[in-house]
Structure formats: C-alpha cells, structure tokens
Amino acid sequence: MLAVVEITGWHWAAFVTCILVFLALDLGVFHRRAHTVRFKEALAWTSVWFSMAMLFAVGLKFMRGNKEALEFFTGYIIEFSLSMDNVFVIALIFAYFRVPSQYQHRVLFWGILGALVMRGIMIGVGAALVERFAWLLYVLGAFLLLTGIRMLFVSDEEVHPERNVVIRLARRFCPVSPDFDGQKFTTHWNGKWALTPMALVLLMVETTDLLFAVDSIPAIFGVTTDRFIIFTSNVFAILGLRSLYFVLAGAIDYFRYLKIGLSFVLAFIGAKMLLDPHGEPSWWFQRKIPTGVSLLVVAVILLLSIIFSIIAARREHRAREQSADKP
C-alpha cells in the first residue's frame, strides 16, 4: 500500500494556481467575446467541470485513500446540489434587471470568482472555530435541521433588490446609469463616473451567494472537517455553477420540487451532525453513519425530487395541449 501523502501549503498553492489558470483561459480565450451561451455549449462545460472534479477525486484516492476521496465526492455532490437552488435565484435576478443573454456569462464569471474568495474565508474561519470548539458542530447541525424544515414552508419566488443592503449602499454613494453599457460594470454618465446596472447585478449575485453559503458550507461539515476537502469540493461545485445555470435556466419547471428535496438534504445532514458530529458514535447515539450511506441518502432524495418534478411538468404540458385542442 502506498504511503499517505501529507497535504502541505504546496498542494494548496498548486490547486489555487490551476484554478486561476483555468479561469483565465475561460474568460480570456473561450469567452473573450460576449455571446449567448447555448444549451449544448453549457452542457459541454458542465461535463468538463464534472470530469475535472472526478479526476481530482481519483487523485485524492491515490494520495489520501478511499475515505477522503469519498468524502470529497459526497461533499461535492452536496455543494453542487445546493448550488442548483442558487441557479434559479440567479435566473430571477437576471430577469428582474433584464440582463441581455450575451452578458450573463461575464456576470457569472466575476460573481463566482468573488464567491470563491468569500467561501475560502468562511471555510477557513469555520474550520478553525470547529477545531477549537468541537461543540459548534452540534450548533451547525441544529441550524441545518431548522433551515431544512423552514425551507419546506417558506417560498420566495421573487427578488427584492430594494431590500438588499449592499445594493442600497451602492445606490446611495455611487451614481448609477439607467442603461447598460455593453458588458461594462462602470461607465461615464452625465459627464461623471457611474456604475452600470451590470454592477448592481454583480453585487446582487455576490450577496445572494453569500446567503446560500451560510447554508451550504455548514452542510459539508456534516461530512468532513478537513479544510482541504471542504475547500476543493466547494471550488469545483461553484465552478460548475456558471455552466449549470445555462443548462437549467430554461428548464426551471422540470425542477419545481428540487427545493423540497434540498430541504430534506439539509435536514438529513443536520440530523447526522447531531447524531455523530465527528464521524464517530456519540455518547447518546452509539452508531456511526458512514459517508457512503450519507451519499446514498442525498442521491436518492435529489433523484426522487427531480423525477417527481419531471412527471408534474409533463402532466401540466399534456393538460395544456388537451385544453388547447378542445373547441
């Protein structure tokens, strides 16, 4: 058996450098000119990022063993699935601000770059706190359980930029032009520097992701407390979010029950953290919930929510066709 490779600062630096290179190629080569991202292109990029995540999992298997590779894969699936709810909110934001389709990729690129920085900080702080105060895992578990239950009964299908503190501060201290200026975030308006509506959209996307991160990052602590695995699984999930948006934005009706599924996922992870917060049997629950079992439960919940969504959407479609055929 090969010796386990210790994760050092060089591994962190190499991973971050590779991600920055991929992002530079994405914006500077593949999307240098603004264009509407079609379904086939988005699906191809989604496949690319997913394949890269799986290759990384294989690399972890050889470097760190099956356990951490499975933890990465489980964390990636959880973070990726929770990102899907973020996709639908982003679609609402783009619709509210009427962002031209050819400029949406640029907003998502910079939005996700900012999200990576914010999540990196949150993961570092969260991991340090959990390492020092182990009882925080119980708090996070209770938070996720309550959040999952709350999602079942709270439905918010609108965006409210006027309630966003960051947007209000931007409008208060910076002039904002009434119209877009291509894909620019700033412009000259009435003889002075001003933000464009694109900048407000970017701020809205960033703050929305921050709110989603409050739910998604604690969820992965239910799988592992290893900072490297938490960070890398989050990065791959967020990188796939851009292409995932263009895949799913036009098919929202086929994922109508996904939010219910995600609420059950959060509730399950929260319950798991309360039962065995450190991946070991607790004093009041003498059984360990293996990572493989957690992955299976999450996968089944998501699969069922998507299947029921597709069935409901097709039934509605047939009903509309039948009503249209009636004289």
pLDDT digits (tens, 9 = 90+) for 289-306: 788 888 898 889 988 988
Residue whose tokens read 């992701």: 209
One DSSP character per residue, 255-292 reads GTTHHHHHHHHHHHHHHHHHH-TTSS-BTTB-----HH
What does the pLDDT look like over 80-137, one tens digit per residue?
Answer: 888 777 777 888 888 888 888 888 888 888 888 888 888 888 888 888 888 888 888 8
Reply yes or no on whether the pLDDT at 55 is more than 90: yes
Distance CA 231, CA 120 (A): 7
Distance CA 84, CA 82 (A): 5
Q: Which pLDDT band holds residue 70 (cuts at 50, 70, 90)?
A: very high
- Find, among 43, 80, 53, 141, the residue nearest to 302 by Cα: 80
The pLDDT, as a whole number, for residue 280 is: 57
Reply yes or no on whether the pLDDT at 32 is more than 80: no
- Give the dihedral of Cα atoms 231, 236, 237, 240; nearest 10 deg: 160
For 261-280, what is the mean pLDDT? 81
Token reading at 156: 């918010």
The CB-based long-range contact list for 6-11 (8 Å cut-off, 24+ gap) reads: 7/64, 7/228, 11/228
Distance CA 4, CA 19 (A): 24
| Helix or strand (DSSP H, E) at 67 | helix 66-97
The predicted model scores a pTM of 0.84
- Among the residue ranges 26-30, 159-163, 257-261, 286-290, the one predicted with the least confidence is 26-30
Strand ranges, E, within the chain:
186-189, 192-195
Reply yes or no on whether the pLDDT at 1 is more than 60: no
The pLDDT, as a whole number, for residue 48 is: 87
